[in-house]
A and B are shown apart, each in its own frame.
Chain A
Amino acid sequence: MTDKKKVKKYFVKIEPDECKGCERCVNACPKAVLKMGTELNFMGFPFAYYVGAGCVGCSACFYNCPEPGAVTIFEVSDDADGDSEKEEDEED
């Protein structure tokens, strides 16, 4: 992911109650910023969590996740009016 003005920051959020703990995202993450937890969610599965920093927004975890809404990747912009257009880019 390249930058236009400044380096974009990303943030990945994993819904604990939607994760089934299959570890696909953990295996797929190229930066190894996802880890498996030991707690159980309300379905009784252990769930993955984000270590807090280092996400590059590559979408590997999102597309590897079999659940529709367990993984959400946010783009964080520091300036208030940073509007980056949504584009259908092929990711790595």
Chain B
Amino acid sequence: MTENTNMKVKYGRSKGFFETFERRPGAIKKNMHYCPGCGHGIVHKLIAESIADFDIKDRTIMIAPVGCSVFSYYYYDYFGISAPHGRAPAVATGLVRANPDNIVVSYQGDGDLGAIGFNNFIQAANRGENIAVFFVNNGIYGMTGGQMAPTTLPGQKTATSPTGRSVTNEGYPLKVSEMVAALDAPIYVERVSLSSTKNIARTRKAIRKAFQNTIDKKGFSMVEILAGCPVNMKFNSREMNEFIENQMQHYFPLGCFKDIADTRDPIKRPEGIFDKQKVKDILYPIKVAKGVSADFKNESKIFQKERKIKIAGFGGQGVLSLGMMIATMGKLRNFNVTWLPSYGPEMRGGTANCTIITSRQKVCSPIVDKLCNLLIVLNQPSMEMFLPELKQNGVLLYDSSTIAPPKCSEDKIIYAVKASDIAKKIGSLKCANSVILGALSVVMKDYFLEGKDKKDFDRAFEEAIMDCFADKQNVIQMNIEAFYAGKEAVEATLTNPHPGV
């Protein structure tokens, strides 16, 4: 039969594909790179057809996974992004949140979705992101040469299970659709297959439904497609279809597990902010320093240098908030300050610590590795741990009610205050850190300040306490009381030096 004008294409190359695949290397520009009989080609065809029919080419983004379909962006005439292995749902979340009008398609295989990326996938499903996930399940790692996948059937022989998958050793295949359908957020979950023309027609319908849900912004839709990998499984196409029908579909029953799109309203999420200045304002809100005029300058030359302070104690002793009060004090006096807490298992019972750096210059790094100028220690283990880090002629301030006087070289300047005892007398052990702060005000005054700067120095600390406890008005008074008690206690020891000094 010859072609004439009366012939009209009924089914032909979809408009969703490029006319020729120019990005594909090599001489073959009309074909995909898949092996003969591969399921990916059929799914690609159905997706391309849906997108062309829905006319959403200009706002569709396809995420190419890691797997055989990694080059899917060679073929589709719409946007494509490559995501790291298994991270397609996370990337999809970003794309759809940034612009809710995007139609984001995550096309994943069973190694990508079921193994390495399962947590990314299930969390995105649980958040109910407005994306369509097409999960091509062929029960095997196709790209790497037919190794066992999470969805490999029991007894199935693969490159890494030469005697067949044993459920006692490798467990049972992962039933992804059932798991997702059990969540509240997903609206559409269906398992289909490519084993026969009838099943392909159902797949086509399911893919269109998933697109319709995404266009309507109803939420998370997933279509699991049982496909074949005839080359790695060493089947011809008839055997492949029989395998899918008789074995895979037996273990992974086909059907719609969830379809509640009608009961859901379109998703509305807060709109993204794309204005540079607004983002900056949100990230770095300008806090107005209280109490001190903006042109206040510390005259002391000594402040030209960085002062590194380290505070250590056990978690819950107020180590971090003491550090925060010191940093706030510095901030209120127009210093550049950093405050870096050290989180870790020590927080629960060992030694917690934080470091503060105050400087007139820019602070280049907030890390105080070794050689701190001032060390504040609130428990015995911290003393043993951090005393070697104190610089020559550095200052040590410790809570002498719980810590034995340390043995250290003569050059160190040592102050001790019975912080816990004083705090108990005032009413709460919790304000021991303010007692230390009071002691610190004396220490800093003599060691860090000279001339006019000594004036009003206590006020800076008072302001810092008020600033740090702004949310807890009822404890401010007690902490200020503790502050002055600590100050007096240290001043008393100065005239009557501590035996340990």
Contacts and interface: CB of A to CB of B under 8 A. Distances in A.
A90 B14 CA distance: 17
Contacts of B35: 20
A21 B36 contact: yes
A77 B75 CA distance: 32
Contacts of B38: 66
A62 B488 CA distance: 91
A67 B38 CA distance: 9
B230 interface: yes
Given A23-B238, A43-B28, A69-B12, A64 B200 contact: yes
Contact of A68 (B14, B204, B237): B14
A17 B27 CA distance: 12
A67 B237 contact: no
Contacts of A59: 10-11
User: Residue among A27, A43, A67 with the most chain B CB within 10 A?
Assistant: A67
B31 interface: yes
Given A73-B12, A74-B9, A90 B237 contact: no
B201 A22 contact: no
B31 A43 contact: yes
A15 B49 CA distance: 19
Nearest to B202: A90
Interface string A55-90: 001111011111111111111111110101000101
B7 A68 contact: no
Given A28-B197, A52-B1, A90-B201, A66 B37 contact: yes
B36 A22 contact: yes
B370 interface: no
B209 interface: no
B10 A63 contact: no
B6 A76 contact: yes
A27 B238 contact: yes
B41 A68 contact: yes
Nearest to A68: B17
B8 interface: yes
Contacts of A35: none
Q: Chain B contact residues (Cβ within 8 angstroms of A): what range?
A: 35 or more
B44 interface: yes
Interface in A7-50: 10-11, 15, 17-18, 20-24, 27-28, 30, 43, 45
B173 to A, nearest CB: 24
Contact of A77 (B3, B6, B12): B6
A92 B5 CA distance: 28
Q: Which of A22, A45, A76 has the most CB of B within 10 A?
A: A22
B367 interface: no
A18 B84 CA distance: 31
A88 B53 contact: yes
A43 to B, nearest CB: 7
A90 B200 CA distance: 11
A67 B12 CA distance: 11
Contact of B7 (A20, A58, A60, A74): A74
B445 interface: no
A62 B205 CA distance: 16
Contacts of A78: 6
Nearest to A11: B1
Nearest to B241: A27
A75 B8 contact: yes
A80 B6 CA distance: 6
B264 interface: no
Which 6 interchain pairs have the tightest Cβ spacing?
Answer: A66-B41, A22-B37, A69-B13, A22-B36, A20-B36, A62-B11
Interface of B: 1, 3, 5-14, 17, 28, 30-32, 34-42, 44-46, 48, 53, 75, 196-198, 200-201, 204-205, 230, 236-238, 241
26 contacts: A11-B7, A20-B35, A27-B238, A27-B241, A28-B196, A45-B36, A57-B10, A63-B42, A64-B42, A64-B197, A65-B42, A65-B45, A66-B37, A66-B40, A66-B44, A67-B31, A68-B14, A68-B32, A68-B41, A71-B11, A72-B13, A73-B11, A74-B9, A76-B7, A79-B6, A91-B201
